[in-house]
Structure 1
Amino acid sequence: MLTYTPPESQPPAPTGEKPWLLLLLAFAWLWPGIFSRNLWNPAEPAVFTAIEAFSDGGSAWLPTVLGQPYFNVSPVYLWVAAWFEQLLSPWAADAYSAARFASVLFTALGLFCCGSAGFRLLGRHQGRSVALILIGCTGLITMAHFLGSQSVVFAALAMCLYGFSLAQTHVIMAALMLGGGWVLLSVSAGLLLPAALMLAAAALAAHPCWQFKRYSLTLVGAFAVALPLLPVYPFALLKTNEAAFHIWLHHHAFGAFGGTQSFQTAFSLPYYLKNLLWFAFPAWPLAAWTASRTRLLQQRWGVLAVFWLTTATLLLTLTPHRHPDHLVWLLPPLALLGAAQLDGLRRGAAAFINWFGIMAFGLFAVFLWLGFFAMNYGWPAKLAERSHYFSPHYIPDIDTIPMLVAVSFTPVWLWAITRKHIRGRQAVTNWAAGVTLVWALMMTLFLPWLDAAKSHAPVVRQMEAALPAAVKTALAEGTSCVGIDAGAATARIVWQQYGTLQLRVNDTSCAYRLVQQPKGSPAPEGWHLLWEGARPRNKTEGFALLKKAAAVAKTP
């Protein structure tokens, strides 16, 4: 007996795609740069100091650095980073690397939520495209691999996008993801950004594409989840430290815009448009292609992206704090738009993206290999000279495992770019593979060189090595001491992390004094300069060890 199976109930046709390749690429992109390095400026030293303060019994709601409130990192990030540090250090990773696992976790959560949203809003295979586009955006690299709470912001935004995508089929989960994303965003980026996205979500219900019962229920559920939880952090901060609560309320409650007593706006659109060119490539040109091919306001996903981008762009236009990391507010909707018409990308455009990626990343990879030989073997000589100029503290260091990783990445990338019949998705995959290759080479071949240039550890070791033996003995026996001003935050942080000296804050009786000042500055009156140093090519930040002039002849 013959039966008829409707087309929509037939199983999808098999394809030659391999989902595990995306997982392998994401894994290869996530881990280089996490291990075997010190804390890098500008934010990592302060963030890790806040993690240590929390681990040593500090407040769960108030991040502190050197005993002072530090609102530049999310408490949620501190909790997760401290947990990873306790779980993995020292048996599996050093303390710095273990703490960076928090960035990996939140970034992976963001990629998963954005990919799942792409699958539900755009259809089969498009979730992978969304994830690949995000991996290919260079702006996501630093927040995924460095200590800092921007990865939490990315994860929270991705949760919101996933919540929207679930509204038509799973109301309860959609409400939890959307409301939870708003709450996580409020703790990590201030109250103004989630408030703006909440208003955009409410306004979305006025559009015909989103006027269905399940979305209305999702919206009610999301507000029911978010509104009781949004005051939890301010209330907990008020009850644990009232003075810190007022600092947060007056200067940090609205994130980049300040607080109730310091609220500011500025016209920053040109700055963010300029930085968007590199931060969100190839997401923004692919999104522009989709906008030129589709009537966005007639598609549910298109309406969502337009409302989101309009809201976030307005905030970026008015924000007084200019930093490229704020462009992460635009990444989820841009990646969604970029994936929508990726399979329809013209062969010439796909070939151009592929060719441009091959040329750019290929040349960069060749340069990195040449630089590796130059800084370790002195050839090419001119390049070796420049490498020493930018990182004079570097000592040639060739480790077997990083070398094996670097050697393995290069042929895999060459295999990927030699595939034939390149279309849109293959071009984006090759681009993401190129970004992964360059990042992996930098974090294997160049990691010791970069660490010597970006970390304060060589400067601290240089200063302590320059101390005469008699001075070291006097300091160890307690017959002498080194004082430091309370305002020299950078020096206090880095000597706490890398040094062995016990610095005394605001102790004017000490015969020695560590100061933070540009290299080459004269010693203050009544003091004698013993040592000065700075990170390479840094003309504004330096350190000096001084000795009381009256004590030069009396103390060692």
Structure 2
Amino acid sequence: MPDFLALIRRGIRLPPAGWVLAAILAFYVLAGLFGRDPWKGEDAIHIGAAWQMFHYGDWLSPDLAGRPFHEPPLYYWSAALTGHLFGWLLPMHEAMRLASGLWLTLALIGLYYAGRELYGQESAAASPLLLAGCAGLLFHAHDAQPMLIALAAYAGALGALATIGRRPRLTGIYYGVAVAGCLLGTGIAPTLPLLAIAPLAWWLSPDRPKALHTLAIGLGIAALLILPWPLLLLNLEPARLHGWLATELAPLKTAFSFSGAGRFLSMLPWFAFPALPLAGWTLWTRRKDLGAPAQLLPLAFLLLTLLMLALAFRPRETPALLMLPALALLATPGALSLRRGAANAFDWFAMMTFSLFAGLIWLAWSAMALGWPEKLAKRVVILRPGFVGQFDFSDFVIGLVATAWWIWLIVTAPRSPYRSLTHWALGFTTLWLLATTLILPWFDYGKSYRPVALAIARELPEGHRCLAERGLSDTQRASLSYFVEIEPATIGSVAGKACDWLLVGGDTNQELAAPGGNWRKVWEGNRPGERKEKFRLFRR
């Protein structure tokens, strides 16, 4: 008890290390994984594909609502596995979402070791804290998201290649596993920067013959891990392999887009804050030593990643995640070498910003659960028609503990180069935890397709599963499959033409109109609060 009281008075030691650092990062990984349905977008799509694999036992290649889904299988293997292990304890979608926590953990660990190797033990904790503090990652890290595998592979490969001159055997193993994981998890295009950085790592090594041998071992391990899956697919389901290859190679046949690269770069000021300005500070303060491995390796990897993104992806937030490991690593020296005035300003900005937003979340919770203030409570219902807020004691306690933790951290954190960075990363995490406990029911009410799926299932005759569809997105089909085990067929297909029930989705009356023939509308609906997207169910 005296030791515990001493810890309360003293606060955490900075830089965080050992179990303290592990607890901080675990807090970040777990906050937001639980307590919600699969949300509209990629979360629902990937949970739907993983559930299909788990439910039907087709482990060779993923399907989505009964149709081939030309994606590599590793994320769906891992999600189906966590669903099998924890489905007895959690709702299946939450158990499957734990796979994202696993890959995010590996990314943070890989970046820790990369930072330790390039910048020393005292700087190692800053690298994963910078990655965790990036605004863009927080909004995707707790979804079902295969791109997190590439994030882990990039961090692991940077950590491995940083040790190429000191621990060549481990470098080869980790590099090979990273390449294999990236290709089996996210496909060919995200794997290209991992291959393209190898010549630079060889050139930077103090022992180039040994480095060449190391990289050869790594590529051999990668080949051994990768080849069984496409060979099995070629032997058992060749059409699936050809479909996957066509999907993977199509973006690589397009021309490089400078506008695409510019749009990816334009995301970074908010998406990669605060890593981006701190990486710029690193490059400025170490501008005379840019050829050293500590600067050149992450900088070159960042440029290769940007080149790949501009070539193979449309400018979106999800692929932009791949720029974050190199940026966080490059920002590590800058974060710990800020001048006192800048460090204090960053610290105050973090404390004031997250304290203000935490207060706003409590105010929104009060309106939602207690009905005060009245004007805000009315606005809550207007934005989510039909929503009824309830007081949940467990969520209230979690919110109180998180708020007390944040206040304790502010009061007790000692002066250190790590102080502002720790406040930023933990402030962001605390804010996210408050949002995903106190006001999560309000978000979940409008972002889940569960009400739509259940309403459609109620209209269909019991045991009836022959449903055609027109205009449904992957998210909507995945939600129907997961929530009510209905897999609608395309209206133009042989199976779809045989169905007497038709589900139509769209935004306009023209899109929602019945096709030619004797169709009668039996139901119309939408997600709560959704004004454009609607659904109509017809019977022939």
**Shared fold per TM-score greater than 0.5:** yes
Q: Give 2:480's aligned residue.
A: 495
**Pair 52,163 (structure 1): closer, same or farther in 2 beyond 3 Å:** same
The answer to whether the 8 A contact 2:51-2:482 is kept is: no
Classify 1:308/1:163 alpha carbon distance in 2 versus 1 (closer, same or farther; 3 Å): same
- SS state at 1:22 partner: helix
1:292 aligns with 2:281: no
Corresponding residue to 1:271 among 263, 270, 279 = 263
Q: Deviations over 1:181-206 (max 9, x none)?
A: 11211222322332333222213433
Residue matched to 2:434: 441
Q: Residues 120-519 of structure 1: matches in 2 within 5 Å?
A: 120-207=117-204, 210=206, 212=208, 214-253=210-249, 258=251, 263=254, 265-267=256-258, 268-294=260-286, 295-419=288-412, 422-462=415-455, 475-476=461-462, 483-485=467-469, 488=472, 490-499=475-484, 506=495, 512-518=501-507
Structure 1 pair 494–309 and aligned structure 2 pair: CA distance change class (3 A): closer
Deviation string 1:273-312 (CA, Å, 9 cap, x unpaired) is 1211122111111111111111343422112112212211
Separation of aligned partners in 1, 2:206 and 2:307: 22
Residues of 2 paired with 1:214 and 1:511: CA distance? 68
For 2:285, the aligned partner's letter is: R
Deviations 1:353-391 (CA, angstroms, capped at 9, x unpaired): 112212221221111111111122222233223322332
Partner of 1:98: 95
Summarize the Cα distance change of 1:59–1:481 in structure 2 as closer, same or farther, 3 Å threshold: closer
Give the TM-score of the pair, scaled to structure 1. 0.85
SS of 1:418's equivalent in the other structure is helix
Q: Partner of 1:344: helix, strand, or coil?
A: coil
Give the secondary structure class of the aligned counterpart of 1:516: strand
Distance in structure 2 (CA, Å) of the matches to 1:508 and 1:17: 65
Query: Given residue 298 of structure 2, which amino acid in structure 1 is its aligned partner?
Result: A
What is the RMSD computed on CA atoms of the aligned residues? 2.7
Please state whether the residue corresponding to 1:281 is helix, strand or coil: coil
Q: What residue is the counterpart of 2:21 in the other structure? A: 22
State the match for 2:65 in structure 1: 66
Whole-angstrom CA distance in 2 between matches of 1:349 and 1:416: 20
8 Å contact kept, 2:525–2:535: yes
Q: Is the 8 A contact 1:393 1:452 kept in 2?
A: no
CA distance in 1, matches of 2:188, 2:365: 46
* Partners of 1:111 and 1:196 in 2: CA distance: 19
Higher relative contact order (CA 8 A, sep 6+): 2
How many residue pairs get aligned? The number is 517
Following superposition, the deviation at residue 508 of structure 1 comes to 5.4
Partner Cα distance (2:197, 2:477) in 1: 44
Q: Could you tell me the percent identity over the aligned residues?
A: 28
Alignment partners' CA distance in 1, 2:371 and 2:420:
37
Aligned partners of 1:210, 1:282: CA distance in 2, in Å? 33
TM-superposed deviation, 1:142: 3.7
Per-residue deviation, 1:420: 6.7
| SS at structure 2 position matched to 1:424 | coil
Decide which moves more: 486-495 or 178-187.
486-495
CA contact (8 A) 1:393 1:453 kept: no
Q: Which consecutive residues of structure 1, in runs of 5 or more, have no partner in the other structure?
A: 1-14, 549-556
Preserved contact between residue 63 and residue 75 of structure 1 (Cα < 8 Å): yes
| Cα offsets for 1:397-422 (capped at 9, x unmatched) | 33222221111111211222235764
Partner SS state of residue 433, structure 2: helix
Deviation at 1:447?
Answer: 1.3
Matched AA of 1:517: G
Kept after mapping to 2: 8 A contact 1:130/1:335: yes
2:197 match: secondary structure:
helix
Normalised by the size of structure 2, how large is the TM-score?
0.88
User: Which runs of 5 or more residues in structure 2 are unaligned?
Assistant: 1-12
* Residue identity matched to 1:153: A
Paired position in structure 1 for 2:53? 54
